[in-house]
Each structure stands twice: as structure tokens, then as C-alpha cells.
Structure 1
Amino acid sequence: MQIFVIEFEQDDPKKCTAKRMIRKGFAIRVRTPKGILLNPISNKTLSYEDREIIQKRGLTVLDSSWNKSDEKFFKKYENSLSRRLPFLLAGNPINYAKPFKLSSLEAVAASLIIIGEKELGLKLLSLVKWGPTFYKLNENLLEAYYKKSEREILEVEEEFLAGYLGGP
């Protein structure tokens, strides 16, 4: 299973989780997206249905700073294989407990868990000391999203958000 990173060099290199994935041999730096592209503004949600594409063509993460990336930035990378992650909370110290503000490593690990590659996802999380925090924070959601279709994930997400935001 190949993991690709498009780097924009916007973060502190010592704290950059994408660089860590590359250094440890879990990811490869590329200039253009390959396979499924993690993109937070995508209309499609990553699901188990994407597993075959990821196994054959890989998974790409855009490694940019949340402070320097806006909708216009992400729009440039929107394509038919773009996917957003369902609701998850960041476990990293910079954006701790903020919805959707995941590090590149958290996003890739969550993606792998969702598509049924839990062991590899947990191995990735072990590269950072706060990896277990991310998993614990999202364990129930990740288990609910695990090996589910996009429709099922959207139902879980909607139900969770209704409770999280105090809805009906």
C-alpha cells in the first residue's frame, strides 16, 4: 500500500508529520496526486469502498499548514478521486480536540483504519508520542467508520454530529 505526500514546506520541519512518514519509509514525496487524494473540501467521503483504489493506486495527502491553506488552495486539487475524512478530532498538540484539523499523519492513519488497514494505521500513529491520544479520542468513531460504505459513514457522522452539536 503506497502513501504519497505533496509537501508545501509550510510547517516546522521538526514537527512535520509528513516528513516523519517519509523519513521512516512509510510515504513517498510526489508532485502530483496519485490514487485517492485526501482533500478536506471534497464532496465525497472516504470509505471502505475506496480500499481497492488505494491498494492499486495509493493514497495522497496534501501536507500544508492549516493556517496557510484555505478553500481556494484545496479547490486547486479537487478531482474525481478526492475524498474528505468524516468527523474526527485532532490528537496533535497544535490542534488538540479541534474537529477536522488533523495532521497529515493523523489523516493517513485514520484513512487506513477506515479502509480496514487498522494495523498499519496504528503503526503509523506509533511514530508520534501523541498518536495513542488521537486514537483514544476517536476510537468510537473510528470503530463506527471501520469497513463501512460512504452511506453508512455519513449516517454515523450525522448521528454523532447531532449529539455533539446538541441537535435533535
Structure 2
Amino acid sequence: MGRWEPNARGRLERAALDLYLERGFEQTTVAEIAGRAGLTERTFFRYFADKREVLFWGSAALQEHLVDAVAGAPDCLAPIDVIAGAVEVAGERMQERREGARRRQAVIVANAELRERELIKLANLSAALAGALRERGVDDPAASLAAEAGIAVFKIAFQRWIDDDDRDLTSLIRESFGDLKAVTAGT
């Protein structure tokens, strides 16, 4: 190993994504990821429990930001508007990571196990949002419906964002929530 360089987590993440895209997720080993990053396997396991976690390690932080945004929303807002605001906050945080998001999504789409893990992550986000709405006094089924709708909107806006170079994620989220409201209003 060479001299110490900063940002081991970022280097491991870049190396893993490069290898996953070059060779495939299943064919890539932790040793290869660490080697490409100029680090040891032991260092890899300081940051990630396994090679899947390279793709999902930010889920807890995303969930925390979403829940905090719901908790901090004005009391006068309808549940769907609280969720829309929270999802927009998440979109703002992700805006600078478009290329990484594209690469990550390409790896996930190519692997059934990773697609399943992504769906579990989204279900957990929805459950956390519904729980945050319940903390605000929103009863079910309204809390669950608003949370599920918010995650559906996020998924659609996110896919549009990684497919489109010209639009920012926050505006796509707003537009998609507008589309949802139009669909549910019957217009």
C-alpha cells in the first residue's frame, strides 16, 4: 500500500461502482474493490458490512433527513404536502450526485438481489415517513397513503432525473407531485 490518502469511504465507493459496472456486481470481490481503491480488505470492512452496503450505506441518513423534514413542517399543511416538502428536501441533498446516482442505479437495475434490496429500502423509507406523520397526529390510513404516494412520486422523479441531463431533481419532484394531485383530482 502507498502512503495514506484521505476519503477512504469515497475511494472504496468509486472503486466498487467502477468494478460493478465493468465486471458485474456478482463477479466483483471485496478484495478487488479494496485493491482498486489502494486499501486493504480490513479497511473496506471498517466502512461497509459487505459489498452491497457500498450501494446502500446512505439509506439511514436519507431516512433521518426525511423524518426530520416531516417533523419540522408547519402544522397547517396537509399530510401529502408535508411529505412533498420532505421529499423535496431529500431531492435538494441529492442534486449534486446525479452521475453517482446514475451509476448506482445501473448496477442495481442489472441485479435482481439489488433490486429487491432497493425495494426494501424504499419500503423502509415509506414506513418511516408514515410513522413521522403519525407522530404529527395524522391517523391511518391517511399517514400510510401519503407516505406511500410520496415514495412513489420520489421513484418516478428520481428515474426521470437520472434519465434527463437538463432538469434538476427538486423541480421534477414538484412536477411529479403536481401530476399526482391532477390524477387524484380527476383532471
- TM norm structure 1: 0.31
Task: Decide which structure has greater strand share.
Answer: 1
- Name which structure has the greater RCO, CA cutoff 8 Å, separation 6+: 1
- TM norm structure 2: 0.29
Task: Decide which structure has greater helix share.
Answer: 2
